[in-house]
């Protein structure tokens, strides 16, 4: 790499690198050990490499994924620790056994959701630009279309960190999604095939001759 025209500050290290590199690669270029804040390395699906980011001459500080963000000269970057395991909102799939009680369950498991103060911090934090707050409000109102809002959520937890009411929006979204599947998804072709297997009419002959 010959082009070292860009200078970025990452966790206090001034790194000379190229604008063709991602922020994550800039860490590599700096020679520091990289054992944290890294996962899929470019696909933007694991949510590990979350950073706070300020561009040159800008007052604004935003959140972003380092693997998806190209280096720009003068960037200031700070990696964010991953959230310690969140067992704040606990439940098991057995909670959904009584399907007439689902809406109560949502509010019992995520009681903070109804206290959303509409600050919009979750929306502004989301690196995938999802309508997080809208999803939270739908879920709190028992509208399961909230599941759709969180379709592309990568569970980076930035909204959970951002939420002043401790709602854990992404976990709420996942809760609704999981509930939707666990309780309501019963495709007929799968049911039929499972029954055939139970009845023993769907055997596999491992010794079949193949060419």
Partner 1 sequence: MSFNPVLLSSATQVGANLEAWFAQGGGQGLRQALAAPQAIIPLLQEAGLRGMGGAGFPTHHKWARTAAQPAHLDKYAVCNGNEDEPGTFKDRVLLEKSPHQVIEGALIAATAIGANHVLLYVNPHQPESVASLRQAVQQWQTEPLLQELAALQDRPIDLRVVTSSGLYIGGEETAVIATIDGGFPFPHRKPPYPAECGVDNKPTLINNTETLAHVPHILRHGARWYQDLGIGSAVGTKLYSLSGDVLRPGLYELPMGTSLRKLIFEYGGGMLQNRPFKAVFTGGPSNTLLTEQHLDVALDFDSVRALGSSLGTGAMIVISEGTSIVRKVAEYVDFFAAGSCGQCPPCKTGTYQLARLLRRIDTGGGLHSDLRALESLCELLPGSGRCGLIDGAVTVVRSSLMQFKEDYQQQLID
Partner 2 sequence: MSGIAYELALANLSRSDGMAPPAVDKTPLLHRYHPDYQEGTRTRLTIGANRGDECPTRLATLLQSNAQITDADLAGAPVINTEVLVIGGGGAGSAAALTAAEQGRRVILATKLRLGDSNTVMAEGGIQAAVGEDDSLQRHFEDTLRAGHLCADRTLVARLAESGPDCIRWLINRGMLFDLAEGTPVGGKLLRKKPGGATCARILSYHDYTGLELMRVLREAVELDDRIALWNRCPLVELLSDESGQCVGAVLYNLDWHGFILVRASRVILATGGAGRLHLNDFPTSNHYGATADGLVLAYRMGARLRELDSFQYHPTGLAWPSHLVGGLISEAARSAGAWLINGEGNRFVDELQPRDVVAAAILKECAEGRGVERDGNLGVFLDTPGLERRHPGILGERLVSLGHLAHRCGIDPTTEPMMVRPTLHYQNGGVEIDEHGATAIPGLYCAGEITGGIHGRNRMMGNALLEIIAFGRRAGQHAGATASPKPAPKVGLYHLYDWQRQIILSGLPAEVCGPCLFPDYGNFDLRRDLVLRASAPGAVQAMVAGMTPS
Residues that bind partner 1 (CB under 8 A): 9, 11-13, 32, 52, 54, 59-63, 76-81, 117-121, 124-125, 158, 161-165
In whole angstroms, how far apart are CA 42 and each of 20, 67, 73, 115, 186? Answer: 13, 5, 20, 36, 35
Q: Are 147 and 176 in contact (CB under 8 A)?
A: yes
Cα distances from 146 to residues 101, 127, 135, 174, 184, in angstroms, run 17, 18, 5, 10, 15
Q: By CB under 8 A, is residue 4 in contact with partner 2? A: no
75 closest CA partner among 91, 61, 85, 89: 61
7 within 8 A of 73, measured Cβ to Cβ? yes
Task: Name the minimum Å distance from CB 145 to partner 1.
Answer: 24
Min CB(38)–partner 1 separation in Å: 15
Q: Which of partner 1, partner 2, none does residue 156 bind (CB under 5 to 8 Å by kind)?
A: none
Rounded-to-integer distance, Cα 17 and Cα 3, Å = 7
Q: CB of 178 within 8 A of CB of 92? A: no
Least Å from the CB of residue 142 to partner 2: 18
Instruction: Closer to partner 2 by CB, 57 or 211: give it.
Output: 211
Q: How far is the CB of 59 from partner 2 (least distance, A)?
A: 26
Collapsed DSSP state (helix, strand, coil) of residue 170 = helix
- Binds 12: which of partner 2, partner 1, none (CB < 5-8 Å by kind): partner 1
Q: Does 182 bind partner 2 (CB under 8 A)?
A: yes
- When CB distances are held under 5 to 8 angstroms depending on the partner's kind, the choice from partner 1, partner 2, none that residue 142 binds is none
Interacting residue ranges for partner 2, rule: CB under 8 A: 18, 20-22, 24-25, 28, 31-36, 38-46, 48, 68, 70, 82, 85-87, 90-93, 147, 151-155, 171, 174, 177-182, 184-190, 192-194, 197, 202-208, 210
């Amino acid at each position: 790499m010959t082009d070292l025209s860009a200078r970025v500050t990452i966790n206090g290290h001034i790194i000379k690198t190229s604008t063709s590199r991602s922020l994550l690669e800039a860490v590599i270029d700096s020679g520091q050990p990289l054992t944290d804040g890294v996962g899929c390395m470019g696909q933007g699906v694991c949510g590990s490499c979350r950073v706070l980011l300020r561009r040159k001459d800008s007052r604004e500080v935003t959140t972003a994924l380092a693997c998806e963000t190209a280096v720009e000269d003068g960037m200031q970057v700070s990696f964010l620790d991953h959230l310690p395991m969140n067992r704040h909102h606990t439940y098991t799939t057995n909670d959904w056994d009584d399907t007439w009680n689902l809406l109560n369950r949502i509010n019992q498991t995520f009681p903070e959701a109804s206290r959303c103060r509409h600050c919009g911090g979750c929306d502004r934090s989301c690196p995938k630009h999802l309508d997080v707050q809208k999803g939270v409000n739908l879920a709190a109102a028992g509208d399961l279309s909230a599941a759709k809002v969180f379709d592309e959520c990568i569970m980076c937890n930035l909204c959970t960190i951002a939420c002043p009411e401790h709602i854990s929006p992404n976990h709420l979204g996942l809760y609704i999604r999981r509930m939707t599947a666990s309780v309501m998804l019963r495709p007929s072709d799968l049911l039929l095939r499972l029954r055939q297997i139970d009845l023993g009419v769907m055997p596999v002959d491992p010794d079949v001759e193949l060419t």
